[in-house]
Structure 1
Amino acid sequence: MTSRLRRERSQDWFAPVVLCFLIVVRSEAMKLRLLLLLLMLALAALAGCAVAPPPDTGAPEPVAEADEGVAGEYVPTPRNETVIVNEIGGNWDVWESYNLLAPNAAAPGIWQAAQEHLFNINWATGDFVYWLAESYDYNDDFTQLTIKTRPEAHWNDGTAFTAHDVKFTIEMVQSEIALRMGSTMQEWVASVEASDDHTVVINLTKANPRFHMNFARAWGFPVQAKHVWEGNDPLEFKNYPPVFTGPYKLHQEFPDQAMNIWVKDENYWGMDGMGVEVGPTYYVTRLERVPETEIADVKVNKIDHPHALGDATLMQAAVDANPAVQLAGWRDPCPRAIWFNNAKYPLSLPEVRHAINAAVNRQKVADLLFGVPTVPARFPWADWGVHDKYSFEDIRAEFELDYDIDRGNAILDELGFMPGNDGIRIDGEGNPMEFQINVPGFANTEYNIAFDLSEELAKIGIKANVKRIEGQAMWDSLDTGNFDISSHWFCGDWAEGPLTFSDWKHTNITPIGEKTNTGNRWRVNIPELTEVMNQIEQMSPNDPAIEDLYRQAVRLYFEHLPGLAIVQTTYVMPFNWHYWDGWPTSDNVYAVPFTWWPEFKYVMFSLQPTGN
């Protein structure tokens, strides 16, 4: 077990006594208690002796060994001052490294506990919030962005947060495309200047009225501390101990238990600058356990959030085990989806894609095949309130989009795909309508969706085989176009729904067999959509004239159906209210309740102790 405790030399008599106790006493918890007692006796014997304090290394403050039976049973912190969150997202094999720029170089919890953006979007409410920056402004043609940073903001080592940090990080990321958003900064930033300590001016290579959103999105551009990073290789630098601006500082890591502990920064700038303060003194992130263990733990209030409860039955078991558990359901930004290879005949025909859509029973998927009950997806984005203004029901009503096996058969009949001797439809040259549906190896819900679709497609004379594709091979098959149909998810633009279609420009098509890096994995070929999206990208989303372009884009999507949004992705988060009040609930999702999102820290601002 790794605890990184500083150990001091003791008097000669102390070590043999300790050894005797370690031999005689077998209980690990009892050993720890006896060692602590012996340590107090040793300190008493040494009273009056001057002992030099250990040097200040800047490393996180050491605490006692974590083990069952120690204060709080699971963690060495007072339970009623600690929020304990089980989690799956994050790099649980990375420790003593908090580099958010290099690939897979940051230990778990850093986004939620310590990283902050210039701007935030409360995705649950749609509010745009100025955070480390207090304003932004563009010139008239959107080729220059000026950002004002907050004078009161500072890093957790006390150093002021300034425009020089923003400039430094942009230029550092620009220098290495492998860094987070390296390609974005290379493409869009011509130059950047810090005209004073709190003003950064970014000159763009071309007009972009949405460039500021790179500093606002979840997992967006993470500004780093110039005084910490300067002179280091950004691909190798550990940033340990982590220097960030957020409300928590790293307290201790326990790699052997897949757990780290964060402690409230009593000098957090946001307490005065933003009027916010986290409730829990300690924030513990742990790798999720098996469902049975998590239910047993939440029953006796050992944890505040069990994460492994992936279906309604397990959720209810947690609620039954502990009446203090309440549920918070919310939509992931990515509906579950069926994707087509738009460059492969006959999937290249919009009519064939409409026929397949007629065989999709979205209501059945929503009611029976998802982990928790959800709703059919009517548009290719989350049904968040921020997307209501893009969800044009009148345009959707222009098309027949509901589950209708008869309509699917009629479309294929009209196209000339007739049933062969085995019942599988063939074209005029005898080519059968037979496809493979690829599913990520780990994705169970997506497999269920694909399997159900394969059974429904048989009713319209299409044979579909479902195959799990493991690891990177799944994504390589999409990038190279070596697939027919895919069942996974539909992730577009979270803030401005129709911008989802920007990646689908026909000018970004890569031939099948060549790996794409343009975003158009699906080889969508709709020149009219490309023209509309080029206009939208050059126009401010606040321009009243943009709505007509949005409507054109949505109409082209439903006309061609390059991919199918199937159901909204509903996740339900169980939270234990025994020690902490203020968790989100399904009736009050005031902030993103997903524990793996960077915005989860804003839930922490609302938590208050119950007194238990």
Structure 2
Amino acid sequence: MPAIRLNSGLAKISIIAVVSVLVLVSLLYVGLRVKAAGPPFTLPVPRNETLILVRPSEGYPVKWNPFIPNGISCGECWSEAMWGSTPWFINNYATGQRIWILFTGPPTPEDNYTVWIYHIRPQIRWSDGYPFTAQDILFTFNNIICKYPQVGAEWCQEYLINITAPNNYTVIFYLKHPMPRFYLNSWTIVPEHIWKNVTNPLNYTNNPPVTLGPYVFWKVIPQYNNMYIMVRNDSWWGVDVWGPAVLPEPKYIVFMGQSTPDVQFQNWINGYQDYMVATDVFPAISLIQNGLKYPGTQLLIFYDPCPRGLWLNTQWYPLNYSQVRWAIAHIINYTVEASVFPSFPLTEPAQMPWADWPSLSYWTNWLISNYSANYCLQGPHGTVCGKIYELSTNWTLAAELLESIGFTKKGGVWYLPNGTPFTLPIYDVGGYHTPLALAIVEALNKFGIKAYDVSNPPNIWQNMAYGTVPDALYWLCTGFPWTFDPYYFYNSFWGVYSREYPVGKYMYSGQWVRLNDPLLDYYINLTRYMSPTSPETIQLYKDAIFEWWKDLPAIPLVQTIYDASVSTKYWVGWPTPDHFISWPPDWWTEFFTTIVAIHSASAPITYVLVKFTQDVNVTFHSIDGRWYGPFKAGEEVWLPRGEAAIFILQGQAVELTPPTTSTSTVTATAVTTTTATATATTVTTATATTTAVTTTTATATVTSATTATTTVTTTATTTATATVTVPPTTVTVTKPVISTALVIGIVVIVIVVAAVAAIIALRRR
């Protein structure tokens, strides 16, 4: 058989093509292998000691001026790590407890709430070692807050008489009017020894900043999406106040601006980052579901303080009738609303006009328990009794409410009392609000009310302020969730605002729906100057909420779910449903409770002996596999350091001994099973054995329901010993690993070379 000679042009082209394909495949393989070998950035600090948080964007160049617009380059760095905002207190919304930071406790009111006395913690030091004193507060108010209109001068003129400091650790505010809730205010205070030399505080960059928090700013690396690096202050004054247990374990915190969804997905599943808000990053829920299939991934599920709701203009006919507003509420299908809202897991209908937080459960339970009850209010003209409804789909009741005020239905269409068809546009602000609006439109049309959606029209917010739209669907926000005080739920619906800003006049204060209810106004006026916590005030709160619910100026639709994608490769103890003792959103100052609660995944568990000073009705599944709580006053308990720190900070327990950590090798074997269902609940079984020589072996099986469709079982064995390192003083940034764009560029070059070679071969034929 004659040999086959490869001397034809076609054969040459074939050989070149085959070689090119082989080269291409090899380069792609190498590129993908390089990409999987490490993160798309070089971390200048030890990874196992670093907490990496990803946010939509961090600014550059660096500036830390809290008194001007856009004056803070990294808001999370400023508020959570450095405490540049000098929080007077921090609310742990997971537990409903308030942590007093700058002061020994809440201030003391005198003279009918016109005088407030604050006692500063004498241990507080600025990050440069200078003491924090009353002089810093006086300086900030006198030279910045009350001096410049854009900062707070108008507030000072309206409410403040004077501020005095009888000593370095006492500050007294003298007010022009009684303000029973003055203690809920908090202002940024700056160090006098730094800012007294600043000519114009509104032009000052304040870099490097001197702050009060457990971390200090080290540097920013712009080429890595503005990577801000914080270093723990091991001389932080908080240890002197609360004990060693409250010093967070991460020695470094890195804040980074987020990248593309594919990059962030790889960072998440490979443990290159510790935390990001998945709903900010991923365009599809399927990416979250896919990510949960990988070992070491976890989802934190929490409610935004604001449910989504349909606001109704109470000055717009026929929405000025509460019967019409309630009829609309009974036409809406809340199960459908929850199903069309893009969340993971599936959200739930909002039963109340505030977040379904544990910290607000008392008021939630009270409201639900009074549905359909005969409730009597003590008004200015005697007792008024009535009923309120629950939010439910009830077309029969909706029809009865409309007919009670003269509406009629003919040929499947509802007509106003004047004989014209009832038509109602539903306005929404766009985004994920539009599916909610479309579902309402569909329900109204089926019921017989002609409705249509107007999504994100021009000037929607301005038109709301003027009162020239009948409704609007967006977040249902009041001040209640942030303050734990129901007064801030209903006070913005004060009728004074609707009378001062009638329809057609731009509304600067109050809610744009312009509710005008004399009985609700009565409760607002009455509780405005009463003690927020007295039994009399609590009862009036209930009366006011009942009256608001009867009015229903806004219809709650769904609870707003946020998802945070976290990695357990380096840090554990995240606020999961069965460990919800710290607050998950990393754009709030309150995220500090999570920073202090997490524990290194590779280090021995440090235990702290605490004594509870009050009853604490909290149970949680600990990082050691055990369940703890509830606790009784006087009870002494050994708790893992991060969990003990939460109760110490909240003033519910005191530390009896310094933290005790095993210096021997600790081997932990954990089997974790994550099963996603549609319930977002957690079931855990665990066994743990601890020997007298402080060697702990724990085997735990954790089943977390997080609405995924996969069950993944992983087994990990880790051996670690405690180590100590000092903060770095220099950094060498190495060349980044090969990126996707670089691989694509190489591929294009190979294809071009192959094409040129083919042309040359043809010409030589």
- Measured at CA, do residues 186 and 104 of structure 1 come closer, stay the same or move farther in structure 2, by a change above 3 Å? farther
How far off its partner does 1:431 sit?
Answer: 4.6
| 1:117-156 alignment, distance < 5 Å | 117-135=87-105, 136-156=107-127
How far off its partner does 1:516 sit?
Answer: 1.5
How far off its partner does 1:69 sit?
Answer: 9.1
How far off its partner does 1:371 sit?
Answer: 0.8
Match of 2:360 in 1: 387
How far off its partner does 1:560 sit?
Answer: 0.8
Structure 1: gaps of 5 or more residues: 1-66, 216-220
Match of 1:593 in 2: 584
Match of 1:284 in 2: 254
Structure 2: gaps of 5 or more residues: 1-34, 373-386, 603-717, 719-765
How far off its partner does 1:118 sit?
Answer: 1.7
How far off its partner does 1:304 sit?
Answer: 0.8
Point out the structure with the larger strand share. 2
How far off its partner does 1:508 sit?
Answer: 1.2
Tell me whether 323-332 or 555-564 shows the greater mean CA deviation.
Answer: 323-332
The one-letter code matched in structure 2 to 1:490 is: L
Secondary structure of the corresponding residue to residue 358 of structure 1: helix
Match of 2:466 in 1: 480
Q: Tell me, yes or no, if the aligned pair for 2:218 and 2:230 is still in contact at 8 Å.
A: yes
Match of 2:510 in 1: 519
| 1:254-333 alignment, distance < 5 Å | 254-256=221-223, 257-275=225-243, 276-309=246-279, 312-321=285-294, 323-333=295-305
- Measured at CA, do residues 72 and 195 of structure 1 come closer, stay the same or move farther in structure 2, by a change above 3 Å? farther
Correspondence for 1:403 among 393, 398, 402: 393
Cα distance in 1 between the residues matched to 2:420 and 2:256:
53
Is 1:413 aligned to residue 403 of structure 2?
yes
Match of 2:492 in 1: 503
Correspondence for 1:236 among 203, 213, 226: 203
Cα distance in 2 between the residues matched to 1:238 and 1:436:
48
For this pair of structures, how many residues does the alignment match?
Answer: 533
- Measured at CA, do residues 406 and 232 of structure 1 come closer, stay the same or move farther in structure 2, by a change above 3 Å? farther
Correspondence for 1:491 among 477, 481, 501: 477
Q: Tell me, yes or no, if the aligned pair for 1:330 and 1:589 is still in contact at 8 Å.
A: no
- Measured at CA, do residues 389 and 581 of structure 1 come closer, stay the same or move farther in structure 2, by a change above 3 Å? closer
What whole-Å deviation, never above 9, does each CA across 1:420-455 have from its counterpart, x for those lacking one? Answer: 78x6544244554333333224x31x2221111111
What whole-Å deviation, never above 9, does each CA across 1:161-181 have from its counterpart, x for those lacking one? Answer: 1112222333422333432x6
Q: Tell me, yes or no, if the aligned pair for 2:109 and 2:116 is still in contact at 8 Å.
A: yes
How far off its partner does 1:288 sit?
Answer: 2.4
Is 1:554 aligned to residue 573 of structure 2?
no
Secondary structure of the corresponding residue to residue 447 of structure 2: coil
The one-letter code matched in structure 2 to 1:120 is: I
Q: Tell me, yes or no, if the aligned pair for 1:149 and 1:162 is still in contact at 8 Å.
A: yes
Secondary structure of the corresponding residue to residue 242 of structure 1: coil
How far off its partner does 1:370 sit?
Answer: 4.0
Match of 2:689 in 1: none
Is 1:253 aligned to residue 220 of structure 2?
yes
- Measured at CA, do residues 70 and 300 of structure 1 come closer, stay the same or move farther in structure 2, by a change above 3 Å? closer
Is 1:464 aligned to residue 451 of structure 2?
yes
The one-letter code matched in structure 2 to 1:306 is: M
Match of 1:540 in 2: 531
Cα distance in 1 between the residues matched to 2:601 and 2:129:
32
Tell me whether 203-212 or 231-240 shows the greater mean CA deviation.
Answer: 231-240
How far off its partner does 1:186 sit?
Answer: 4.3
How far off its partner does 1:68 sit?
Answer: 11
- Measured at CA, do residues 232 and 609 of structure 1 come closer, stay the same or move farther in structure 2, by a change above 3 Å? farther
How far off its partner does 1:378 sit?
Answer: 1.8
The one-letter code matched in structure 1 to 2:334 is: R
Q: Tell me, yes or no, if the aligned pair for 1:68 and 1:74 is still in contact at 8 Å.
A: no
Q: Tell me, yes or no, if the aligned pair for 2:49 and 2:251 is still in contact at 8 Å.
A: yes
Question: Radius of gyration: which is bigger?
Answer: 2
Cα distance in 2 between the residues matched to 1:161 and 1:279:
25
How far off its partner does 1:184 sit?
Answer: 4.6
Q: Over aligned residues, Cα RMSD in angstroms?
A: 2.5
Identity %: 28
Correspondence for 1:213 among 173, 184, 187: 184
Alignment TM-score, normalising by the size of structure 2: 0.66
How far off its partner does 1:245 sit?
Answer: 0.5
- Measured at CA, do residues 177 and 477 of structure 1 come closer, stay the same or move farther in structure 2, by a change above 3 Å? farther
Cα distance in 2 between the residues matched to 1:274 and 1:209:
29
- Measured at CA, do residues 516 and 255 of structure 1 come closer, stay the same or move farther in structure 2, by a change above 3 Å? farther
Cα distance in 2 between the residues matched to 1:396 and 1:163:
50
Cα distance in 2 between the residues matched to 1:145 and 1:502:
23
- Measured at CA, do residues 74 and 361 of structure 1 come closer, stay the same or move farther in structure 2, by a change above 3 Å? farther
Is 1:80 aligned to residue 48 of structure 2?
yes
Is 1:106 aligned to residue 106 of structure 2?
no
Cα distance in 1 between the residues matched to 2:125 and 2:286:
46
The one-letter code matched in structure 2 to 1:464 is: A
Tell me whether 114-123 or 184-193 shows the greater mean CA deviation.
Answer: 184-193
Secondary structure of the corresponding residue to residue 455 of structure 2: strand
How far off its partner does 1:192 sit?
Answer: 1.1
Correspondence for 1:187 among 133, 155, 158: 158
Cα distance in 1 between the residues matched to 2:554 and 2:291:
37
- Measured at CA, do residues 378 and 140 of structure 1 come closer, stay the same or move farther in structure 2, by a change above 3 Å? farther
Match of 2:630 in 1: none
Tell me whether 448-457 or 460-469 shows the greater mean CA deviation.
Answer: 460-469
Q: Tell me, yes or no, if the aligned pair for 1:254 and 1:260 is still in contact at 8 Å.
A: yes
Cα distance in 2 between the residues matched to 1:308 and 1:314:
9
What whole-Å deviation, never above 9, does each CA across 1:100-133 have from its counterpart, x for those lacking one? Answer: 2322221122112112412222111111222111
Correspondence for 1:175 among 147, 161, 166: 147
Cα distance in 2 between the residues matched to 1:395 and 1:127:
26
Alignment TM-score, normalising by the size of structure 1: 0.81
